Amino acid sequence: MDTFAALSQGLTIALQPINLLFAFVGVMLGTAVGVLPGIGPALTVALLLPITFKLDPAGSLIMFAGIYYGGMYGGSTASILLNTPGESSSIVTALEGNKMARAGRGGPALATAAIGSFVAGTIATIGLALVAPTVVDIAISFGPEDYFALMVLAFTTVSAAFGSSVTRGLTSLFLGLALGLIGIDLQSGQARLSFGIPDLLDGVEVTTLAVALFAIGETLSVAAAGARADEIIEPVKGSVFMTREDWKRSWKPWIRGTFLGFPIGAMPAGGAEIPTFLSYALEKRLCRKPDEFGNGAIEGVAGPEAANNAAAAGVLVPLLTLGLPTSATAAIMLAGFQQYGLNPGPLLFVTNPDLVWGLIASLFIANGMLLILNLPLVGLWVRLLAIPRPWLYGGILVFATLGTLGANPSLVELGMLLIFGLLGYVLRRYDYPIAPVVVGLILGPLSEQQLRRALAISVGDPLALFQSPIALTLYALSALALFGPLLFFLLTGRKAPVGADED
Amino acid sequence: MSDPRLSSTRRPDKAGFVIAFGLAALALVVGWDAWRLSSINAHSAVGPAAFPTIIAGGLALLAVATAAEALRRGEVERPRDEFAPMAWVLAGLVGQIVLLPLLGFSIATGWLFAATAKGFGRGPVWAHFLAGTVLCFLIYVIFAKGLQLALPAGPIERLM
Amino acid sequence: MTQILRGALVAAALAAFAPMGAAHAEIKDLKIIAPAAPGGGWDQTARSIQQALQSDKLVSNVQVVNVPGAGGTIGLAQFVNANKGDPNTLIVGGYVMVGAIITNKSPVNLSQVTPIARLTGEYEAIAVPANSPIKSLADLVAALKADPQKVSWAGGSAGGTDHITAGLFAKAVGVDPTKVNYIAFSGGGESLASLLGGKVTAGIASLSEYDSQAKAGKLRVLGVSSAQRLPEAPDVPTFKEAGIDVEIQNWRMIAAAPGITPEQKKEISETIEKMVKSKAWTELLAQKGWANTYLSGSAFDAQLAKDISATQTILKDIGLAQ
């Protein structure tokens, strides 16, 4: 079928004024709800789905696309400005983004996130339109042994987020791994580290841990610093928008992030978090000013944000081509599609081409709308930081607890927020990095499950782990990440120029 | 590895020992749980106890490494933390958990707002409590009524 | 913060147009607890009930509350403890809860709620990749008897409906259920992907998850767990046809709080019955591909008791319960 004809017809429908309005409203709502810490895109889409029921299929698909991308984007705004990641895939954004905001560079950080999301979203949506069937075939060929190799790669590159001390980085990581053990083990059905508390059976929610460590831990340690911390954050130092140098430093990370995010997002067990970790590690390696990492390097926002958004489009690949919902958000979207008799599956492109292309066109429109809406708002968003500290932090705690309560109205969840908030304070006080705790919580259970699946399928033969070419390639990459700099030193006798010129 | 802001003396770092002790205790708990799990018959190549065992081992090693570092590096002088502001913020969070089931979202979260503001040096508490409660009631209306988000209701919320 | 508020106000204004505002409702306010996260089967069931009740003006305002966790047992515990005698709060549940209560040693169980009706159900299906040498249930049984370890099954979490079905299947053909090489996946998507990629021998899930793949020729569905062949897959034999005595339905129900009066129970039952007969509900079921397996009153109570004892037995056999 003529892809471009179908797409342009979809675009004509999506560009009608009334549909543009729906896109606008969707992006607005998605961003507004997604900004709340703890409320990720899944809940945002679930909450706002009933609103779209009232519209005709075209209008509602467009609004839906807007809510989806808006929800993804809203999370990064909160991460950058308030250090309160709204969802697990914007945790990495908080690392550099919030440092930038504190240095008066919140404007460029938000801008590179918005433009990077746009670039990544556009490229990934084109990918969705053109190569979805090919990508999905590759994605499906990933077995548990390959996923395990991917996790190994993620683990080896995570050290990029460790900060200065390996012992401290590993300690944080192992805390996260230990927290990841809590709950019912998927393979055996046994409860681990739950001590008979029913609320622990499902384990620790990633967003709860992230909100607690970042938002509450941060609030506590700023409060404890008292007068010592009383420098006032200047919302804007220099340009509100990106300078020429910012552009120069951003565009390559956007592209690299996109090419990490889209394929991994398309994998049934890929997710949006791993590409953000990989992108962060990659940018740190390639950055020409590596000492800026940890103090607000724009590459550390541009890359992961692009990866995150490209992964969001990637998730739609298995959803539309196979009918596989591979994330909570995708599962809710599936329910939304069914409202219009759209039954995602292998035959969808054949049976409902107009709706599919309408949706893809809507994604383009939503993506553009997100940029148009958010760039002018950057200046306003940044002003949030000018709110006097007592009210700002009061507000942060109100919204952090609101988000947690909204996702799961349980006092135990609030109790965990408090305990992990204290943990976040202690970690900060004694110079332990925060991000590896969350990374451990995400990667630990994933890698364990994949390894055990691989070994169960091979009936306990460990050689099966090294028999797939995909896995071997990924292990080679891990080895390169670990020993690459050392090898360089041995060969040339001088230290690897981290961030070598590659123009 | 050492932070230039921190000066060190000959005495071993007490905080480092406390952290090392905490890690060792965590290693014991995880290890104990792994031991309990390993006694359950699992019919797969790698059972539920394998990963906990590795993690417990890792934590134990890190406890040793942390203790060794505390001994080697010596006492680290850290800036003093003020207890009172932190206590206010904690009182806000604990208060919210206590008040939530009795008085609902607006009052409990209003208290959280007031206590946090107080912790950051802005009073009076009662005025912030009132303002916070009104603000939170507005939030409640928007999210619970507008978006059907389930938030705990109390006497104020039931007035609607 | 003003931005958030402004955005949210628009949301509120928009939502105000949306579902509410009905004329002659019998029950005014109703809260339905979906003991799962948004997106799952129970959540979708709860939201479908919400939609059907509101669009037919049977209840003027229905709110869905998600209380996720531990196979629904957290939501159930909260419901039993906080809503005693409350006729305005209902809970959605299902067969998965029966197993979860046993494996999680839940302090509350289904005897502590007032079951109203079974609403819908799905049947389990066993499928293999299209290029698999296994062509029929008989082939699968033969492979399983030859070496149960070599037959890997992809399905949902350990102790769930898929696992239980695999255990019942093995037991029925005379294979030790503890020898079943069951690979648990966290979501339907992931387990289906491993099957499509040929990573596992067979997959076990509700038929709807395999249906569209089977129609596209990527999977072969070997059998279903229903008593008779199903209208959506008339060519697929039942387990019983192949001589395997396994019949299982992954049903979903609605239940009321403990301690309500018989009059209150009657009123709720009548409202639900009206809903089940409504056009809106029929359309919703068709849209989602759910079968209407409505069963209420003492017939449902008996079925529930039967399911609970059968599940207890098989979970013991698999080794997941004492």
Distance CA C141, CA C169 (A): 9
User: Which residues in chain C have Cβ-Cβ distances shorter than 8 Å to A411?
Assistant: none
Distance CA A341, CA A56 (A): 12
State yes or no: ipTM above 0.95: no
Distance CA A277, CA B121 (A): 38
Distance CA A262, CA A315 (A): 8
Instruction: Kindly state the average pLDDT of the residues A246-265.
Output: 89
DSSP state of A231: P
Range in A34-38, A471-475, B111-115, C158-162 with the lowest mean pLDDT: A34-38
**Residue A462, both tokens:** 């460990």
- Answer whether A33 sits within 8 Å of C18, measured CB to CB: no
Q: Say what the pLDDT of residue C188 is.
A: 59
**What predicted TM-score, i.e. pTM, was given to this entire model?**
0.82
Q: Say what the pLDDT of residue A231 is.
A: 57
Would an 8 Å CB–CB cutoff place A204 in contact with chain C? Answer: no
Q: Give the distance from CA A183 to its chain's centroid.
A: 24
Has residue A64 got a pLDDT over 70?
yes
Sort C228 into a burial class: Cβ within 10 Å, 0-12 / 13-18 / 19+. exposed
**CA of C189: which chain A residue's CA is closest?**
A324
Q: Binning pLDDT at 50, 70 and 90, where does residue A160 land?
A: low
- Answer whether C11 sits within 8 Å of A32, measured CB to CB: yes
CA angle A33, C14, A24 (to 5 degrees): 65
- Answer whether A50 sits within 8 Å of C39, measured CB to CB: no
Q: Give the distance from CA A249 to its chain's centroid.
A: 21
Q: What type of residue is C9?
A: L
Distance CA C242, CA C244 (A): 6
Give φ, ψ of C64 to 5 degrees: -105, 130
CB-CB contact of C245 with C89 (8 Å): no
Instruction: Kindly state the average pLDDT of the residues A449-456.
Output: 89
Has residue A245 got a pLDDT over 90?
no
Distance CA A264, CA A273 (A): 10
- Answer whether C63 sits within 8 Å of B142, measured CB to CB: no
Helix, strand or coil for residue A127?
Answer: helix
Q: Say what the pLDDT of residue A161 is.
A: 64
Q: Binning pLDDT at 50, 70 and 90, where does residue A227 land?
A: low
Q: Say what the pLDDT of residue A378 is.
A: 82
Residue with tokens 């806000």: B92
* Tens-place pLDDT, residues A271-294: 788 888 889 888 888 877 777 887
| DSSP β-bridge partners for residue C118 | C253, C295
Q: Say what the pLDDT of residue B7 is.
A: 47
From the list B44, B146, B150, the residue facing C16 with the nearest CB is B146
Sort A495 into a burial class: Cβ within 10 Å, 0-12 / 13-18 / 19+. exposed
* Tens-place pLDDT, residues C273-297: 888 888 888 887 877 777 888 888 8
Q: What type of residue is A36?
A: L
Residue stretches of chain B with pLDDT short of 70: 1-10, 41-45, 147-148
Distance CA A279, CA A273 (A): 10
- Answer whether B143 sits within 8 Å of A409, measured CB to CB: no
Would an 8 Å CB–CB cutoff place A244 in contact with chain B? Answer: no
Q: Binning pLDDT at 50, 70 and 90, where does residue A296 land?
A: confident
For residue C95, give the nearest of C24, C162, C141, C158 by alpha carbon: C162
Give the number of C-alpha atoms closer than 13 A to the C-alpha of residue A78, restricted to the C-beta side: 37
From the list A192, A390, A418, the residue facing B122 with the nearest CB is A390
For residue A334, give the nearest of C49, C37, A343, A57 by alpha carbon: A343
Of residues C61 and A388, which shows the higher confidence score?
A388
Residue stretches of chain C with pLDDT short of 50: 1-25
Query: Which chains does chain A touch, 3 or more C-beta pairs < 8 A?
Result: B, C
Distance CA C135, CA C126 (A): 12
CB-CB contact of A316 with A41 (8 Å): no
Question: Which of A24-28, A110-114, A321-325, B10-14 has the highest mean predicted lDDT (pLDDT)?
Answer: A110-114
Of residues A136 and A235, which shows the higher confidence score?
A136
Query: Which chains does chain B touch, 3 or more C-beta pairs < 8 A?
Result: A, C
Minimal Cα–Cα distance from A223 to chain B, Å? 5
CB-CB contact of C116 with C255 (8 Å): yes
- Answer whether B147 sits within 8 Å of C16, measured CB to CB: no
Distance CA A167, CA A162 (A): 9
Residue pairs spanning B and C at CB distance below 8 A: 32
Long-range CB contacts (within 8 A, 24+) of C19-24:
C19/A50, C19/A53, C19/C50, C19/C51, C19/C54, C20/C54, C20/C60, C20/C61, C21/C60, C22/C54, C22/C57, C22/C59, C22/C60, C22/C61, C23/C57, C24/C57
* Tens-place pLDDT, residues A313-335: 888 888 877 777 777 777 777 76
From the list C38, C73, C216, the residue facing A346 with the nearest CB is C216
Distance CA C177, CA C173 (A): 10
Q: Say what the pLDDT of residue C11 is.
A: 44
Distance CA C184, CA C35 (A): 21
- Answer whether A394 sits within 8 Å of B66, measured CB to CB: no
